Amino acid sequence: MQTLDTPTEPREIETHYTRVDRVFRGFVTSCALFSLVVLILIAAFLLYRGFEIFADFGLSFITTSKWDIGNPEDTSTAVLGIGAMLVGSVVTAVIAILVAVPFAIASALFIEFYAPRLLRTILTSVLDLVAAIPSVIFGIWGYVVLLPLVEDWSGTLYKYLSWFPLFDVQTPIFGRSPLLAGLLLSIMILPIVTSVAREVYGQAPRDLIDASYALGGTKWAGIRTVVLPFGKSGLVGGAMLGLGRAMGETVAVYLTLNLVFDTNFQILASAGGNVASLIANKFGEATDYELKALMAAGLVLFLVTLLVNFFATVIVNRSRKIV
């Protein structure tokens, strides 16, 4: 006979899945595994096609900044490296993130907490439509409309800030520069970052926001103390999604940035490029050996993008723990 003081054994909780549950779990698991298999197959294909390049050049393929195919009949005369293109990818992507994230935060907060319901619906639809515009349209718009504006802005920046290395150029000729490409990429990734931030901010605990109002706080006080800390991880995730797209963008960068194989940290100089635009530029007329080099470059870009997503996951998890 058990008494109140007699310890009871913990009851084991068993889960019984119905046939529908088992089918759904199997379908979802198969889709996830299929996505992983596709990624592995893509990486394996790029590695297979570009292995000869890594065997011939080793690490210098990533660190050097010269692209000379040499004599097509003699592959030993080739000097190939994507170091400058990797730098260009990082520079333009960082410019895009630095410009897009503040606007994304402001846009998401306005849509979620300040805009009337009708205007909120319209702005949300517009963001979804802008995100679906092809990159070639952005590239043409950037070349025709944004380029003249950035040339004027670049001249002003050079005039007053040329003492800073980023804004100094050897020849004050402005045009298709990393600044232009970065600003265009910021416009392209803005809908993605804004949509993710808005979804996360919309899930902020309303009871805590109402408690802030009850204590006499303003709407901005509730946003600053509740919404922004709560949405930190989502904002980081959205920014990293935008960073991944900015690093892999092809057509828009190809139309707004001159492809020059020179490591360039001067964002006003009319020279640069990224790995994706290099592949697009060289693919049509590439020899068999150069095609292997382009496949190797694609593998490097693939791995860099995966690395960015990995660090984004780490940052998001840490932000959730802190919150």
Q: Residues 176-204: what's their mean pLDDT? A: 87
Q: Can you point out the beta strands (E) in the chain?
A: 67-68, 79-80
Average pLDDT over residues 271-297: 84
Mean pLDDT, the chain, rounded, equals 83
Partnered with residue 272 across adjacent β-strands are: 259
- CA–CA distances in Å: residue 289 to residues 64, 75, 78, 107, 317: 18, 7, 9, 48, 43
Q: Which residues, including other chains, have CB under 8 Å from residue 86's CB and lie 6 or more apart?
A: 62, 275, 300, 304
pLDDT of residue 319: 59
Predicted confidence band of residue 139 (pLDDT cuts 50, 70, 90): confident
Give the separation between CA 150 and CA 144, rounded to whole angstroms.
11
Q: Tokens at residue 11, please?
A: 């009851």
Query: Phi first, then psi: what are they for 202, rounded to 5°?
Result: -70, -15
Cβ within 8 Å of residue 70, ≥6 positions away: 76, 77, 78, 79
For the chain, how big is the Rg over CA atoms in Å? Answer: 25
What average pLDDT does this structure show over 286-294?
86
Residue 286 and residue 72: Cα distance in Å, rounded?
10
* Tens digits of residue pLDDT in 232-257: 877 888 888 888 888 888 888 888 88
CA of residue 143 relative to chain centroid, distance = 22
Q: At 310, which amino acid appears?
A: F
Share above pLDDT 90 across residues of the chain, in percent, rounded to a whole number: 6
Assign 18 to helix, strand or coil: coil
Question: What fold does the segment set 83-322 form as a domain?
Answer: MetI-like fold (1.10.3720)
* Domain extents in the chain: 83-322
| Rounded distance between C-alpha atoms, residue 167 and residue 207, angstroms | 48
Q: At what angle do helices 117-131 and 178-201 cross, to 10 degrees?
A: 130
Beta carbons within 8 Å of 296's beta carbon, 6+ residues apart: 46, 49, 50, 51, 53, 54, 61
Amino acid present at 262: D
pLDDT score of 8:
65
Instruction: State the Cα–Cα distance between residues 280 and 254, nearest whole angstrom.
Output: 8
35 pLDDT more than 80: yes
Please check the confidence at residue 201 and state whether its pLDDT lies above 80: yes
pTM for the predicted model, two decimal places: 0.84
pLDDT tier, 164 (very low <50, low <70, confident <90, very high otherwise):
confident
